Amino acid sequence: MSRHALVGWPILLLMLAPSWVQGQADTAAGTILRVTSTDLLPLTGTWRYSTEDEPGFSSPSFDDRAWPEISTPGQWHILGIDSDVVWYRRHFLVAETLRDTPLALEIPLIADAHEMYVNGVRVGGRGKIAVDGTLEQRSNRPGVYRIPPGVLRFGSPVNVIAMRVADNVGWGGVVRPEFYIGGERRITRDFELQLMRRAGLCLAFLVTGLLYLVFYLGSRQPTYLYYALFSSLSGVEAAALASTGYWLSDSFIFNHILQHGPYHLFAFALTGFLHTFFELETRVAFWVRVVTIPLLVVFVLGCFSLTFLKVYALYTLPIVLGLIVLTMGYGAYVIVSSASRLEAGAQIMLGGLVVLAMAILNDVLNYFKVFDTFRVVPEGMLVFTGSMGAAVAYRFAEIYQRSERLKRQQQEERALLAAQEEELQTARQMQMGLMPASPPSVTELDVAGRCQTANHVGGDLFQYFTRRNELSVAIADVTGHAMVAAIPVVMFSGILDREMELQIELGDRFGGLNRSLCRSLGERTFICFTMAEIDTDSRRLRLASCGSPYPLHVHNDTITELKIDGYPLGVTENSTYDVIEAQLSAGDYLVMYSDGIPETVNADKTMFGYGQTINTVREACAEGIAAEELVDRLMLRARRFAGDEPQSDDMTCVVVKVEG
């Protein structure tokens, strides 16, 4: 069904309703009703009434033609009647064929007490009305009144139904339209069916509300809580409108709370549901609470004070009903706008809202006596509540399907990540394989080195090269991290191996590496590189470096930074590189490291720094520890400084300790 058809058919019914209602009213407004079968004959419509109170008004011989007319159902404050007691009279004929058939009256909710007479004989009543008209006990419980044998007249003689109704608040009168005369069996059966139908309706609402309350307790999803409240309120109201509560207790206060209490919470529950379901960020729900609180206070006071009960009946109740209508209007705006955006569940809810709005409009117009119809709010509420539940189910089914899709997507992503993890582990093994697994065996030199990458793979590299009487130690740091730097490292390792096969000076070797990298690397990639050559016979050190932290030479507790600068490899092809020399002695240390160590940061974004790096080296060398222990201490000190902060850069360190 299209959206236009969904909205259009209730509007068409509304346009046709006045003509249908008029026909019903004309039928009920006849001067004399004719009971010709056991079928249910409505007693709603036009009666005659008087605000005087005389016992003789129940007599069939009393002439009531001068009495004005009153519409039933209808309450006095709407009809403009200001009285504590009102008499109603209605004339009817009973066919001769029904002489041996028991007849009965089905009585609706009549506020707030009544006495029912047929041809002057009392056949039933509710509550207690004193002889002087004082309302002594309220009771609105509907029921079935059997007309005793010998009371009715058959054929042409006219029968009279007379009601004496009392109320001291102002809302007295026939409230509900389920008012019939007919065969006793048919009347009893209809009353019981109506009672069971409304009780079943109430039970369906309450069970649904309880179910969603359990859902809320399990998920803490506020949409479930508001829906549970709305459904429960609907169930209580359905029970109240069917006067089911009077079968639990004949207390007026109990049934007054049962019927009118939910009115004050409907707007709160509906706006809360809409705001959580559609994730709205407005203050409408807040202002509904603000307006509801004083109205609820008057309602509560009316349960204990006759004065406040009159205020509630005449002023507060119409405001509450108006608030419900306004909330429905707001709800319609939210749902229609959400449906136009094709939000999940909105179109389902739109259909139910239209039905409920029509039911409320019907009952409000009935309440204010614009026209007489059957009151259908419970049925409309059932449709709307059902649509809300369907919308919730639809939305969460969609969420479930989406979560399943996400779950499958996550599984695929995990599989992809696992494959990538395997590839990265392979790449890590390959990169780690480029670096020596163990230190070289060189007489009177203790050598150790380690590279700790920030990711699976990184951009740092260290290497050893040995000749007959020479040890070369190299450390490199490629710009960038992870795979971006790992690929140039692999390429550089091959180029370095090739250059080391050439018997050339250290400075020329740097130049050759630089020219090769300028041709191979991208514009934004370069390599910081340091290489030390140690003559194992003379312990003479030759050093070249470009862009790396200055190597540290520790001699007799004195640390010297071997300062040498130059453009990193791969920056410009015409770069030249200087070489410095130093003499190593027994007990000396040469420490080379990448900038990942001093640039380690903690949670406060404070760097470990070059100062702490040098101090750590000084302390360790003063203890005369082995090269591997110094590497371990320096890296451990930097990681402890970082704390829980993840490693952001590769850390590499090579230490050469001179022994002998």
Strands 173-174 and 110-111: antiparallel
Quick one: tokens of 236? 């209580």
Please give the helix or strand (H or E) that residue 181 lies within, else none: strand 180-183
Which residue in 346, 353, 358 sits closest to 383, CA to CA?
Answer: 353
pLDDT band at 367 (very low <50, low <70, confident <90, very high): low
The overall average pLDDT reported for the chain is 86
Q: How far is 44 from 176, CA to CA, in rounded Å? A: 9
What single-letter amino acid sits at 448?
Answer: A
- Looking at CATH, the fold of the domain delimited by 191-402 is given as Rhopdopsin 7-helix transmembrane proteins (1.20.1070)
pLDDT band at 481 (very low <50, low <70, confident <90, very high): low
Which residue in 579, 567, 439, 581 sits closest to 514, CA to CA?
Answer: 567
- The pLDDT of residue 23: 33
pLDDT band at 491 (very low <50, low <70, confident <90, very high): confident
- The pLDDT of residue 14: 34
Mean pLDDT over residues 510-539, rounded?
A: 90
Residue 18 scores a pLDDT above 60: no
- The pLDDT of residue 540: 95
Mean pLDDT over residues 367-390, rounded?
A: 77
- The pLDDT of residue 482: 63
Contact 87, 110 (CB under 8 A): no
Q: Give pLDDT tens digits for 316-337.
A: 888 988 888 888 888 888 999 9
Q: Residue 541 in 3-state DSSP?
A: strand
Please give the helix or strand (H or E) that residue 403 lies within, else none: helix 377-434
pLDDT band at 203 (very low <50, low <70, confident <90, very high): confident
Mean pLDDT over residues 607-615, rounded?
A: 94
pLDDT band at 10 (very low <50, low <70, confident <90, very high): very low
Q: How far is 394 from 349, CA to CA, in rounded Å? A: 10
Q: Phi and psi of 133, rounded to 5°?
A: 95, 0
Q: How far is 42 from 177, CA to CA, in rounded Å? A: 8
Tell me the residue ranges of DSSP E strands in 324-469.
445-452, 460-467
Q: Which CATH class is domain 27-188?
A: mainly beta
Residue 473 scores a pLDDT above 60: yes
Q: Give pLDDT tens digits for 77-112.
A: 888 899 999 999 999 999 999 999 999 999 998 988
Comparing 239-243, 248-252, 594-598, 619-623, the range with the smallest average pLDDT is 239-243
DSSP string, 509-525: HHHHHHHHHHHHS-TT-
Mean pLDDT over residues 415-433, rounded?
A: 76
Q: Which residue has the higher pLDDT, 379 or 606?
A: 606
b/e for 315-354, b at 16 or more Cβ within 10 A?
A: ebbeebbebbeebbebbbebbbebbeeebbbbbbbbbbbb
**Domain range list for the chain:** 27-188, 191-402, 438-658
Dihedral over Cα of 204, 210, 211, 213: its sign: positive
Percent of the chain at pLDDT exceeding 70: 92
pLDDT band at 9 (very low <50, low <70, confident <90, very high): very low
Q: Give pLDDT tens digits for 549-565.
A: 999 999 998 999 999 99
What single-letter amino acid sits at 311?
Answer: V
Q: Which is the CATH superfamily of the domain at 438-658?
A: PPM-type phosphatase domain (3.60.40.10)
Quick one: tokens of 339? 């449906």
Q: How far is 163 from 85, CA to CA, in rounded Å? A: 10
Q: Give pLDDT tens digits for 400-417.
A: 888 888 899 999 998 888
Mean pLDDT over residues 375-392, rounded?
A: 82
Q: Residue 652 in 3-state DSSP?
A: strand
